Structure 1
Amino acid sequence: MEAIAQSLEQWLGGPVDWKQIILIGLTPVFLAAFAVEWFVMARRGRLRQFSPKQIFTNLNLGGAYQVFELIGHALVFMAAMHWVYDHRIADVPLNLWTAPLLFLLVEFCYYWFHRTSHRVRWFWCAHVVHHSGEEMNLTTAMRQSMLYSLTGYWLFFTPLMLIGISPEWTLALYALNLAYQYFVHTEAVDKLPAWVEYVFVTPSHHRAHHGRNPQYIDKNYGGVLILFDRLFGTFEPEVEKVDYGIVRQVRSTNILTLNLHEFIDMMRDVMRPGPLWLRLKHLWAPPEWARPDHKKP
């Protein structure tokens, strides 16, 4: 992999974003898996969650996400990650012995990034795109925001670089984490054996995560493992039928509207007259927070 990385760096003229390289490379696998899912659900007579308009929107959002991630990588965040890595306290190799621990550390960072993306409005402005879908199929995993680099998702993984894991390896491990997550966005798989449900994020866990049912909101943040949710009290099993979407649902298939609506709403809240500290609190308060003199519609 080092030789491939060096060749790509020479060709691209800079560090490689392995997250995007791996995810783009896996796109045929993802699309093939979706075709299998559609076939299975068609045989079961359960195609209600497969509207062509929503699937097309998901694919468009995924494409826009890929383009903007590559732009963000080239202009800003890879240089920032390497700056952090230059101040590392050690050098940690990736090998057969260290890989499981490093993958666990990436999962830990992802858990807190994901949890923050639900509880801090600045980060929710990007993540809301993923949750605005009202259908659940594998293409829902492609429903991503082009604002992730702008809002700073990569900041949550900089501790790994400080302890000596290179940005390239960090992003490669993160890509594997995201690749796993693609396959839990489905209704084709019911609950799995109890030990699997206890340890890993499963389709059942992730369906609940996408629910706007009160008991499911802000639950099940894990990417690959559900253990941190159990440890930190954010686990919720799927019991009641899941109602997918967000509380303040956006009825649009326009990818610009879907990407920008929450960001625009947040800035409108910030610009409303009032004490400066309350205006700025809209940036870090939970998405549902409102000033004492104002309630969200």
Structure 2
Amino acid sequence: MDAGVHVANYLLVFVMALFALLLIMEVLRPYKKFSGRSLKQSFATNTSAFIFNNIIMGVLSVSTLFVVAARYSHYGLLNGLESGPLKWILTFILFDFSVYVWHFIGHHSESLWRFHKIHHSDKSFHVTTGFRFHVFDELLEVVVKSLCVVVIGADANVVVVCEVIRMAFVLFHHSNLVIPGERWLSYIFITPFLHRAHHSTLRSEHDSNYGIVLSVWDLIFGTRKEVVPEKIGLEMIEAENFVQLFCLAFITERRLARLLHVLPRRGGRNSS
């Protein structure tokens, strides 16, 4: 367990360094300028979500996968392969595909969407959006990944590398940047251009581009969409702070819609 905790700490340092770099690049050359108030609110909410989630998830995420892989990976599909480049590449591909499938299910299961919609509730799109997750969403993901690690038969150290790459790409493809040649790059990796469509207000657009690192899965399964979203975020889902963000998971859109018809809304027809 100690080794897993040390790995998790190193991972946190790496992620924060990448976060700082992307944040500086967004300030210097943003793809789109969001209003100052909404950007500050989004940044504060997302960062507090990251801090809270990391306190709970710090030992449970990477360290859990490390321990599971070390103890149970010998049952998996790749157990018979000698540790080397071929096994590492296959592990990464299968692990990335597993996360793609889980992401797809998270959009199409009403029970899972209630937690995953928290991530999509950001009305801005920038690097801290990659921190905006409900803690229950992350807990469920750790359980699913642990099962995948056992089924795949991944080496513990390779699992950690996969997580480092995955977390780096989560920050990268949420960045408010234009990457030179990214439309061509997007046929290999998920880029901000592709993932921006995934955060569209329209369900027909945000139910797409589920890949985390490799974009090939969206091509194979017909879930790729190349669109420039008119608006970012979800219409009826909004949170001004972390507490509201946490509670939104327990209010369905249907119930919220009913409330909005009853309660006066600022600027709406029911306003006094």
Normalising by structure 1, report the TM-score.
Answer: 0.72
Stretch moving more, 176-185 or 81-90: 81-90
Q: Does 1:158 align with 2:144?
A: no
Aligned to 2:52: 64
* Counterparts in 2 of 1:24 and 1:113: CA distance versus 1, 3 Å: farther
Aligned to 2:240: 253
Q: Does 1:210 align with 2:199?
A: yes
| Displacement after TM superposition at 1:91 (Å) | 5.3
Q: Does 1:118 align with 2:104?
A: no
Aligned to 1:244: 232
Amino acid at match of 1:232: F
Amino acid at match of 1:69: M
Q: Select the residue among 247, 251, 262 that pairs with 1:265.
A: 251
Tell me if structure 2 keeps the 8 A contact 1:191–1:197: no
| Displacement after TM superposition at 1:55 (Å) | 1.0
Q: Does 1:223 align with 2:212?
A: yes
Q: Does 1:138 align with 2:138?
A: no
Aligned to 1:3: none
Structure 1 runs (4+) deviating above 6 angstroms are 74-83
Normalising by structure 2, report the TM-score.
Answer: 0.78
Tell me if structure 1 keeps the 8 A contact 2:47–2:131: yes
Question: Could you tell me how far apart the structure 2 residues matched to 1:74 and 1:112 are?
Answer: 20
Question: Could you tell me how far apart the structure 1 residues matched to 2:139 and 2:205 are?
Answer: 28
Question: Could you tell me how far apart the structure 2 residues matched to 1:18 and 1:120 are?
Answer: 33
* Counterparts in 2 of 1:85 and 1:31: CA distance versus 1, 3 Å: same
* Counterparts in 2 of 1:194 and 1:32: CA distance versus 1, 3 Å: closer
* Counterparts in 2 of 1:74 and 1:245: CA distance versus 1, 3 Å: closer
CA offsets, 1:222-253, max 9 Å, x none?
Answer: 011211111112111114x3311124312x22
Question: Could you tell me how far apart the structure 1 residues matched to 2:135 and 2:82 are?
Answer: 32
Amino acid at match of 1:185: H
Question: Could you tell me how far apart the structure 1 residues matched to 2:124 and 2:94 are?
Answer: 31
- Number of aligned residue pairs: 256
Question: Could you tell me how far apart the structure 2 residues matched to 1:108 and 1:63 are?
Answer: 28
Question: Alignment RMSD, CA only?
Answer: 3.3
Aligned to 2:86: 97
Amino acid at match of 1:243: K
Q: Percent identity?
A: 21
Structure 1 residues 45-60: aligned runs within 5 Å = 46-48=33-35, 51-60=39-48
Gaps of 5+ in 1: 1-8, 267-287
Aligned to 1:34: 23
Aligned to 1:197: 186
Question: Could you tell me how far apart the structure 2 residues matched to 1:154 and 1:129 are?
Answer: 19
Q: Select the residue among 175, 196, 213 that pairs with 1:186.
A: 175
| Displacement after TM superposition at 1:73 (Å) | 4.8
| Displacement after TM superposition at 1:165 (Å) | 1.0
Tell me if structure 2 keeps the 8 A contact 1:17–1:73: no
Question: Could you tell me how far apart the structure 2 residues matched to 1:203 and 1:127 are?
Answer: 19
* Counterparts in 2 of 1:107 and 1:163: CA distance versus 1, 3 Å: closer
| Displacement after TM superposition at 1:182 (Å) | 0.8
| Displacement after TM superposition at 1:53 (Å) | 2.0
Question: Could you tell me how far apart the structure 2 residues matched to 1:23 and 1:249 are?
Answer: 29
CA offsets, 1:34-67, max 9 Å, x none?
Answer: 02211223xx893537722221111111111211
Question: Could you tell me how far apart the structure 1 residues matched to 2:195 and 2:135 are?
Answer: 22
Amino acid at match of 1:102: T
